[in-house]
Structure 1
Amino acid sequence: MMSTALGEGEDRRSGVLASIHVPSGNVAWFRRFLAFVGPGYMISVGYMDPGNWATDLQGGAQFGYTLLIVVMLSNLMAILLQALSARLGIATGRDLAQACRDSFPKSLNIVLWLACEIAIIACDLAEVIGTAVALQLLFGIPLVWGALISAADAFLVLLLMNRGFRYLEAFVIALLGIIAVCFMVQLVAAHPPLMGIVKGFAPSLDIVTNKKLLYIAIGIIGATVMPHNLYLHSSIVQTRDFSPTSLGRRDAIRWATWDGTIALMLALFINAAILIVAAAAFHGTIHQGITEIGEAYHLLSPILGLGIASTLFAVALLAAGTNSTITGTLAGQIVMEGFLNLRMPHWARRLLTRSLALMPVVVVTVLYGDRGVGELLIFSQIVLSMQLPFAVVPLVLFVSDKRKMDEFVISKAVSVVSWVVSGLIIFLNGKLLFDVCF
């Protein structure tokens, strides 16, 4: 199956695929590892985008540290699923969208493609809102104009892509570093109680029985495990020029898994930090009901007693929104080409996706103001969560298939865990949909 997939006229060494050199021979392990560092951080961007901020902020302010366990579990789910995605791409030479096109009837592929496009638009909706809010907080630009300005990021993506994939990765990693530093400073200023954080990582039955808690919990899962990231990761791991032999693929899978795991641990730190800062600053106070990113910005400095805290918060938000636009563009391109075998210039794809995300932001901003935009941001994460089964189920199905994966098929134990995770996601999404409707 692998040889057939690689021989269908889509050479792995075309374009940016296999464009990054991997040292071979008797070289130090860290040199080989560094060659594979990058894709993990590209996909980690989706796990700390502005959508996460809204859900983590609301969860921390309203429920203290209770939802830290959800942040951790969703991150562990993400590590597992992204490792499977990387394995699929390296072992078969096909990304998840291409694998679906190879294996499923056209009608089902259309459904899967539409579901993924909805997820990408929902994610882009969060990026538009996050960027617009950050520009408003930092420079006083109205939300509507900030949303329109965000469309210009298409040209930033095009510029970086033209310079080479390593430049794209370096830019993303630099912005991730800025976000991490901003939240380290805020964590120190917040002085959160250690025991409260420890208790937050312990399971709580309230999360399942309390509808409000469950709603935010599902939002956190939806904002953390990104459907389109599974398509993205299976493609960009193929940018490394590893040996197409069995040994070369096995080595590539190992380093790609480490890259993704380390990068997603950074995402766990940032998501947990947002929730912890919100809990320390707002929970148990008159500001406990805070739901807006803008409100948090104005209150952080006076509450934490650190003048620069609010500015750092907004800078990190702008960096997160900018970063997310890059991966959203790449994912959209991969999904469209994979499912439909249809190619579109990156700038055109970006402007199309951004236009579809801009319309609801502009309409809601004009009709309902800032508060309506905040509720739209939360809703976008619920939409993302609803799309997860459409990406997770095909992924686990493929990596569990001996005919498709050959010697790289996952073990029975890993397959069982993967199906349990998939089933849990589907169950939680179903319960949320039932609660919302009835």
Structure 2
Amino acid sequence: MDAKSPAAAAEPLSSTSAPAVELPGWRSSGGDPSLAGMFGSVRTVKNGSFWRKLVAFLGPGYLVAVGYMDPGNWATSLAGGSKFGYALLTVALVSNLMAIVLQSLCARLGVGAGRDLAQACRDAYPKPVAWLLWISAEIAITATDLAEVIGTAIGLNLLFGIPLEIGVIITAADVFLILALQAYGFRWIEAFVVALLGVIAACFAIQIAMADPDWGQVIRGFAPTTEIVRNKEMLFLALGILGATVMPHNLYLHSGLVQTRGYGPSVEERKEAIKLSTWDSTIALCLALTINASILILAAATFHKSGQTEVAELDQAHAFLAPLLGSSLAPTLFAIALLCCGLNSTITATLSGQIVMEGFLRLKMAPWLRRMITRMIAIVPAVGVTIWYGEKGTGQLLILSQVVLSLQLPFAVVPLVLFTASKRKMGPFIAPRWVTALAVITAVVIIALNVKLVVDFFFG
């Protein structure tokens, strides 16, 4: 983070108004830039060392990383760690590697073609196809928001004793948080997110130290195993982890956020911006992997080790931590980290919702109104499940939301891979063949796993 004032940070450079690159592969022109109010608003360094330049680009990757550790991910990681020990750590690792590849393509699309993924779909496909992709993106955002609503409500309940039904309704007020931060400039949003990520990391570091896991088993847990594909229940949880790690809305989000940097319009400046943005997201996703793995390791070292193999709900984990670790500090840290995750996810869901709606429909809506509509859609099922099934139903709803996200992934991943592999659409910014090859493998694995899940669901 730079030390400039908010006003200076929000002041765009003369070279930041770089228009979308017009290439013959697109059916229509790019139109307005992504997140027009924040486009090119963060100053960058044109001269100096690589590290000095990188500092100016650090930030969007951490907002993207938030989506890889939202409350929905906690439920799947807790369930996986308590039931299967350290075995699903390999899924967390593979998912994170997939995420690094895909997010690098997002940076390439946003900077190189001057379009976020929503704009690219609108400009590349006929209207009926673009509308179907828009509906898919909105479903993914709603599923994400559902996880945030439940996670934040549970965090409020665990810390302050607020009933879940009331906590779910209180989450509607978080729209004022994003509005307040936007008023100070995009760097303040990034600083807030990074600060909360630091709190989350510290909370889990202390809990892991208390749990004292078997590090030999932890290392072996990162090794791949065919049991994941053969065991239907393990596959279901693995898909949940995948859906919570590689998230559709993050692909739209990142391709828009990278355009908040003040890179120049030339090919050389854009290529350097792509490289620096990729470094930013890779570093941030390594932090996300550390936190995701910590959740699973904590569950394996406490719940699985003690025979509590059915812990899949956040309030269960909170209740069991104190007697298993012998400290009342552990559940408090767990609740604090959960609440921080919910607040962070609120910011990213708001921004991704704005990018999706403006990109696909060219419909500009006040952020508070867009946020309230999305949040109301998520609140209705959350309140219904909480009242009807009580606290037990929230854990299953969280896991289900992550599987829904996993099923929506191909509709975002396939267009992203096709766009960035096209010379006509990307020109000099086309992805290297080896990156495209990795992205294709990633897409095939995701689609194959989803097909197996559907077949098992209907015929298993």
Residue in 1 that maps onto 2:11: none
> What 5-or-longer segments of structure 1 have no aligned partner?
none
Q: Which of 39, 46, 49 is 1:24 aligned to? A: 46
Counterpart contact for 1:13–1:19, Cα < 8 Å: no
Compute the displacement of 1:302 (Å).
Answer: 1.8
Residue in 2 that maps onto 1:2: 21
Counterpart contact for 1:60–1:278, Cα < 8 Å: yes
Separation of aligned partners in 2, 1:240 and 1:336: 21
Find the residue that maps to 1:65 and give its secondary structure: coil
Which deviates the most, 425-434 or 110-119? 425-434
Find the residue that maps to 2:365 and give its secondary structure: coil
Report Cα offsets for 1:105-137 as digits up to 9, x if no partner: 000011000000000000000000000101111
Residue in 2 that maps onto 1:394: 415
Say if 1:280 and 1:100 are closer, same or farther in 2 by CA, change over 3 A. Answer: same
Residue in 1 that maps onto 2:12: none
Counterpart amino acid of residue 192 in structure 1: P
Say if 1:392 and 1:9 are closer, same or farther in 2 by CA, change over 3 A. Answer: closer
Q: Which of 299, 311, 320 is 2:341 aligned to? A: 320
Compute the displacement of 1:150 (Å).
Answer: 0.5
Residue in 1 that maps onto 2:6: none
Report Cα offsets for 1:233-256 as digits up to 9, x if no partner: 001100001111111011101110
Q: Which of 160, 176, 183 is 2:204 aligned to? A: 183
TM-score by length of 2: 0.93
| Aligned 1:240-251 pairs, distance under 5 A | 240-251=261-272
Counterpart contact for 1:2–1:404, Cα < 8 Å: no
Find the residue that maps to 1:289 and give its secondary structure: coil
Compute the displacement of 1:307 (Å).
Answer: 2.4
Separation of aligned partners in 1, 2:172 and 2:85: 36
| Residue 382 of structure 2 corresponds to residue 354 of structure 1 | no
Residue in 2 that maps onto 1:298: 319
Separation of aligned partners in 2, 1:169 and 1:7: 30
Counterpart amino acid of residue 206 in structure 1: E
Residue in 2 that maps onto 1:258: 279
Counterpart contact for 2:101–2:435, Cα < 8 Å: no
Report Cα offsets for 1:241-286 as digits up to 9, x if no partner: 1111111011101110010000000000000000000000011424
Residue in 2 that maps onto 1:57: 78
Counterpart amino acid of residue 279 in structure 1: A
CA RMSD between the two structures? 1.4
Counterpart amino acid of residue 301 in structure 1: A
Counterpart amino acid of residue 278 in structure 2: T
Which deviates the most, 3-12 or 179-188? 3-12
| Residue 296 of structure 2 corresponds to residue 275 of structure 1 | yes
Report Cα offsets for 1:165-208 as digits up to 9, x if no partner: 01101000000000000000011111101111011011111101
Counterpart amino acid of residue 36 in structure 1: F
Counterpart contact for 1:125–1:361, Cα < 8 Å: yes
Counterpart contact for 2:240–2:406, Cα < 8 Å: yes
Separation of aligned partners in 1, 2:406 and 2:259: 27
| Residue 91 of structure 2 corresponds to residue 37 of structure 1 | no
Residue in 1 that maps onto 2:88: 67
Separation of aligned partners in 2, 1:7 and 1:28: 36
TM-score by length of 1: 0.98
> What 5-or-longer segments of structure 2 have no aligned partner?
1-19
Q: Which of 136, 147, 150 is 1:126 aligned to? A: 147
Compute the displacement of 1:8 (Å).
Answer: 4.5
Counterpart contact for 1:12–1:18, Cα < 8 Å: no
Separation of aligned partners in 1, 2:273 and 2:353: 25
Residue in 1 that maps onto 2:358: 337
Counterpart contact for 2:35–2:256, Cα < 8 Å: no
Compute the displacement of 1:415 (Å).
Answer: 1.4
Find the residue that maps to 2:390 and give its secondary structure: helix
| Aligned 1:52-131 pairs, distance under 5 A | 52-131=73-152
Separation of aligned partners in 2, 1:12 and 1:286: 50
Find the residue that maps to 1:2 and give its secondary structure: coil
